[in-house]
Structure formats: C-alpha cells, structure tokens
Amino acid sequence: MAAPILALQNARITFGGGDLFSDISLGVEPGMRIALMGRNGSGKSTLLKAIAGSIELDGGERFVQAGTRISYLQQQPELIPGRTVREQVATGLPKSMTEEGQETGYLAAQVLDGLGIEGDRQLQTLSGGEARRVSLAEALVSNPDVLLLDEPTNHLDITTILWLEEELKSFRGALLIISHDRQFLANLTNRLFWMDRGRLRTHGKGFSAFEAWSEDILAREEVEAKKLDK
Ligand SMILES: Nc1ncnc2c1ncn2[C@@H]1O[C@H](COP(=O)(O)OP(=O)(O)O)[C@@H](O)[C@H]1O
Ligand SMILES: [Mg+2]
C-alpha cells in the first residue's frame, strides 16, 4: 500500500446540536479514483470540504503530505463578476508560479482551448453551463495531485460531460468524485467511500460494485438487528 498523500484521522464535524459525522478516518493515495457515495444530506459535500481543508474539523486531524497540490471544485462554484474567463482560470494556478512572475497565461489558454470558451469574455456574460466549465478549468489548470469534485456534471450538456470524462481519464492525480451520474462514476472510479449514517465505509472497487456491496452490508445489518431483537 502506498503512503497516503492526504488523510483524515478520527475526523468530526458538528453542526448546531449534533455530530454530522465523527470518527472518520481515510487516506487518499496517489492515483486512487474514488466515488464518494451517500444519500442526500448524509454529509458528502461537508466531508469533501473537510478533505479540501476549506472547513475546519471539530475533532480529529487532517494530514497533507508537503508539496501536495489539492484542487477542489465546490458544488456551487463562486465566480466573481468583473473578471475575464482567463483571469478566473489563472486563479487556479499555484501561488508559487504566479508570484515568481512566470508566464502562466499559456497554461490557462491551453485549458481554455479544450473548453471552447473565449478567454476575453466577462464572467457575468456566461451561461450557467459555461460558468461551470470555467470552474472546471480553474480546478484543472494547476494539474493537481488531488482533485476533489462535487457534482461536476450538474448543468453540463452531454458534449461537455463527455469532454470532462476524457479529461479525467487521462488525469494522473488522485480523484474524489461526488456525482449522481452513474455512467460517469462507473467509467472513472476504482474505489468506493460510502457515507452512511455518520460513518464512512470503504471498498477497494469502483462504482460498478456499489449496489451489490452496499445492499449486502444493509442485509447483514438487518439480520444482526433481528438476532438482537430475539
Ligand atoms: N454550514 C452548515 N451549517 C449547518 N448545517 C449544515 C451546514 N452545511 C451542511 N449542513 C447540514 O449538514 C447535512 C449534510 O449536508 P451535506 O454535507 O451538504 O450533505 P450531502 O452533500 O451528502 O447532501 C445537511 O443536513 C445540511 O443541512
Ligand atoms: Mg452535496
């Protein structure tokens, strides 16, 4: 087993009164392609934010191997009006590159080329689907070691979904994806994380194995519960 480049240990998040989850430990190793499953409201988006480091844990610890680049595409990306598409995509580049004054425009241009959106356009003129694509470009431009995607195919047309799938197939970093798009997950993932009633279960196979695996676990739980009842 390779060493994880990013890990949570006994992670806990509390909202209002109770724990949304506690005692979650996980490791992301290079090249893992993980589908993060779970019902609506089970805490998937919150767990992804905790992994991204965009929210603080209420308990437990987060480790990131030094030098690891993490990119996170949130469920509702924020785009600041007044910027051009090129400027927005360039915000996804690591500070080390932009501060050294390296010529980074060509990197943004390359990603934009694949997207088919003019770099000079103002963000406020974009349609919802275009805005989403710009956020994807921003997440991809640094060629991250870990890419975290929360519902990346929402509001995308089929052409763009297929484009994204191809991009992610050739992406060599670790991937963690939340999505309702079963085909997308089946084509891209080789690991499962399942948020279920405040716990995280993991499985060494991709989305195609999810149904059989989760149903088996639930069926066994039911048998155990009946035994206890007696
Ligand atoms: N910032 C927050 N403050 C309070 N409650 C929150 C916050 N973010 C999410 N929640 C609640 O936590 C639960 C899990 O949300 P979320 O992580 O978005 O789940 P999922 O992505 O699986 O649908 C929901 O009940 C949601 O209302
Ligand atoms: Mg969510």
Ligand 1 pocket test target in 12, 13, 14, 15 with most atoms within 8 Å of CB: 15
Kindly state whether residues 99 and 207 are assigned to the same domain: no
**Distance between first and last Cα of the chain:** 42
CB atoms within 10 A of CB 20: 19
| Cβ within 8 Å of residue 99, ≥6 positions away | none
pLDDT in tens, 72-107: 998 777 778 889 998 898 888 877 666 655 566 677
- CA 129, CA 136: separation in Å to the nearest integer? 11
Mean pLDDT of 56-65: 97
**How many structural domains are present in the chain?**
2
Kindly state whether residues 125 and 203 are assigned to the same domain: no
* Ligand 1 contacts CB of residue 132 (under 6 A): no
pTM over 0.85: yes
Of the candidates 198, 197, 164, which has an alpha carbon nearest to the alpha carbon of residue 181? 164
* Ligand 1 contacts CB of residue 179 (under 6 A): no
- When the pLDDT of each residue in the chain is averaged and rounded to a whole number, the result is 90
Domain at 14, CATH number? 3.40.50.300
Count helices and strands in the chain by DSSP H and E runs? 8, 9
Residue 169 in domain:
no
Kindly state whether residues 64 and 149 are assigned to the same domain: yes
Q: Provide the 3-class DSSP secondary structure of residue 218.
A: helix
Kindly state whether residues 23 and 120 are assigned to the same domain: no
Q: Looking at residue 99, what is its pLDDT? A: 62
- Structural domain range at position 117: 77-144
Residue 206 in domain:
yes
pLDDT at 12 over 90: yes
- Paired sense of beta strands 146-150 and 59-64, if any: unpaired
Residue 159 in domain:
no
* Ligand 1 contacts CB of residue 46 (under 6 A): yes
Residue 205 in domain:
yes
Out of 144, 165, 186, a domain closes at: 144
Mean pLDDT of 211-227: 94
Residue 161 in domain:
no
Residue 202 in domain:
yes
Ligand 1 pocket test target in 13, 14, 19, 20 with most atoms within 8 Å of CB: 20
Q: Looking at residue 104, what is its pLDDT? A: 64
| 110/167: higher pLDDT | 167
| 43 Cα–ligand 2 center, Å | 7
Residue 51 in domain:
yes
Kindly state whether residues 133 and 54 are assigned to the same domain: no
